[in-house]
């Protein structure tokens, strides 16, 4: 059964949440963000102008499934990405609709009322190889998925859902001073004075901003580097941290901190752990 809403008050003005609205406002945005991340990874691997399920299957047909999946992993293909691709493609193709009520055992259903489980198609897509590409294509077509509609929209990962985990003042990015906010989705650099005075105070103001990381990333002096864009990480020095990051488009960024800078908690250790883990995974 899907998750149930909390009990509503008996007050006459209270209204029970609608299942359709819950899916539209809570589940669907999550699926869309996962699918967009998956399409961005597909674009990095296939170099196609527009990332689609069709371009993914063409690449598998040409290079083999194992080779493409290995490259997708390095391109930061997200967990749950195959399910998200199938779910959003089915919705966009009109092959499924959101179920009408909380009592349904499924979230989506076909026009005739049959529950839609993306697992079978997602599993076939995740394990596809040269020989099975025609079968996967046939399964997508049979399910009513229009391959022309099965494509991604955004080309760059934004900071809209990123959450701050730490912060360091007076970090040099490409030779210029910045305050750094370390998030769960990337690194956010914000222009700052050269002087190291009041660094911790500045950081606390940043971390308590009402509009969060999303608002900070919209500042004109902001430089957002999402982790999914990292293709290589080199740790040049662990303490204080200095590193070189290469993005998938070939752009390189050098950044480093000094003991003169201030921080929130042990953010220098957090940054070192995050970058060291990525350096290991991207070898």
Q: Is 126 exposed, middle or buried (0-12, 13-18, 19+ CB in 10 A)?
A: middle
Q: Which two tokens stand for residue 193?
A: 């004075």
Report the C-alpha gap between 44 and 181 in whole angstroms.
Answer: 26
Per-residue pLDDT reduced to its tens digit, 165-209: 999 999 999 999 999 999 999 999 999 999 999 999 999 999 998
Residue 130 near residue 158 (C-beta atoms within 8 A): no
Per-residue pLDDT reduced to its tens digit, 198-241: 999 999 999 998 889 999 999 999 999 999 999 999 999 999 99
- Kindly report the CA angle at 203 between 209 and 266, in degrees rounded to 5? 125
| pLDDT tens over the chain, length 283 residues | 333 334 334 444 445 557 666 666 777 888 999 999 999 999 999 998 889 999 999 999 999 999 999 999 999 999 999 999 999 999 999 999 887 665 655 578 888 888 888 999 999 999 999 999 999 999 999 999 998 888 886 778 999 999 999 999 999 999 999 999 999 999 999 999 999 999 999 999 999 988 899 999 999 999 999 999 999 999 999 999 999 999 999 999 999 999 999 999 999 999 999 999 999 999 8
Query: Which domains are delineated in the chain?
Result: 19-142 (no CATH), 164-281 (2.30.29.30)
The whole-model pTM stands at: 0.83
| 230-237, strands of its sheet edge to edge | 222-226, 186-191, 176-183, 164-173, 252-256, 242-247, 230-237
Quickly tell me which residue has 């967990």 as its tokens. Answer: 79
Q: pLDDT value at position 124?
A: 97
**Residue 217 CB-half CA count within 13 A:** 21
Angle between helix axes 119-126 and 81-92 (nearest 10 degrees) is 120
> By C-alpha distance, which of 88, 96, 77 is closest to 32?
88
Phi, psi of 179, rounded to the nearest 5 degrees: -90, 140
């Amino acid at each position: 059964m899907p998750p149930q809403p909390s009990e509503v008050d008996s007050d006459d003005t209270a209204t029970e949440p609608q299942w359709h609205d819950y899916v539209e406002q809570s589940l669907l945005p999550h699926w869309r963000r996962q699918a967009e991340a998956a399409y961005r990874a597909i674009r990095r691997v296939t170099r196609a102008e527009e990332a689609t399920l069709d371009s993914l299957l063409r690449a598998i047909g040409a290079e083999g499934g194992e080779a493409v999946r290995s490259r997708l992993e390095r391109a930061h293909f997200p967990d749950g990405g195959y399910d998200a691709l199938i779910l959003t493609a089915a919705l966009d193709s009109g092959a499924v609709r959101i179920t009408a009520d909380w009592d349904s055992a499924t979230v989506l259903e076909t026009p005739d009322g049959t529950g839609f489980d993306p697992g079978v198609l997602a599993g076939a897509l995740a394990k596809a190889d040269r020989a099975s590409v025609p079968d996967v294509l046939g399964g997508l077509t049979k399910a009513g998925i229009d391959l022309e509609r099965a494509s991604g929209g955004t080309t760059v990962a934004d900071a809209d859902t990123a959450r701050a985990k730490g912060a360091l003042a007076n970090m040099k990015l490409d030779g210029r001073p910045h305050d750094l906010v370390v998030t769960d989705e990337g690194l956010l650099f914000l222009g700052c004075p050269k002087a190291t005075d009041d660094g911790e105070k500045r950081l606390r103001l940043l971390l308590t901003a009402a509009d969060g990381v999303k608002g900070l990333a919209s500042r004109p002096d902001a430089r957002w580097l999402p982790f999914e864009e990292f293709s290589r990480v080199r740790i040049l020095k662990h303490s204080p941290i200095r590193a070189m990051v290469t993005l998938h488009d070939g752009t390189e960024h050098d950044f480093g901190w000094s003991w003169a800078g201030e921080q929130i908690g042990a953010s220098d250790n957090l940054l070192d752990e995050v970058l060291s883990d990525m350096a290991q995974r991207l070898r």
